[in-house]
Amino acid sequence: MHSTRLIRPLSIGAVVGLSALVIGCATTPMPVDRIALAHAEIQRAERAGADELAPVPLQAAREKLAAAEASPHSADGALAARRLADEAEVDARVAEASAQAAQSERAAAELDKSLDALRTETSRSAVNN
């Protein structure tokens, strides 16, 4: 009875310690949340028209995300995957913001053009009147 009472906590502690060691150094979990965030950001960039308007950062984001997903399931691999996923997310964010800015600037330029035309037209009709 005595021995079993002593052995159980010891063996539990040993198992916990061992598993902590194994998890810490061998099977580090991959940063799935960061990868998911990068995925979502790349989709937002695509919806903003980054394929046409900001292809360079979008392509960088895709490549880094693919590399993050392909990282080995190791401590170094998980670290690399986290960094790659974070960089993919920020690259996609650059792509998204650049695409949005390009669209807004294009719209602003078109508006300016139509305003010039409107001004010319109204000043001409003002002269005719």
Partner 1 sequence: MNTISIRGCDLLARLVPIAAWVGLVAGCASAPVSYPELDQARAEVAAARSSPDAARYAQLELQKADDLLHSADAAARAHQAGEVAHEAYLASQTSKVALAVGADKAAQAHIAQGDAERARIQLAARTREAESATARADSATARAETAESAARDAQAGEERFEQELANLQAQKSARGLVITLRDVLFATGRAELQPGAELTLDKLAAALKDAPDRAVDVDGFTDIVGGEEYNLILSQRRAEAVRTALMARGIDSARITVHGYGKDYPVATNETEAGRQLNRRVEIVVADGNGAIPPRQALNQ
Stretch that binds partner 1, among 5-13, 21-29, 32-40, 65-73 (CB under 8 A): 21-29
Q: What angle do CA 92, 96, 100 make, to 5 degrees?
A: 170
Among 8, 47, 73, 119, binds partner 1 (CB under 8 A): 119
Q: Which of 109, 99, 108 is nearest to 52 (CA)?
A: 99
| Nearer to partner 1 (CB atom), residue 69 or residue 97 | 97
| Nearer to partner 1 (CB atom), residue 31 or residue 39 | 31
Half-sphere exposure of 13 (CA within 13 A, CB side): 5
| Nearer to partner 1 (CB atom), residue 11 or residue 122 | 122
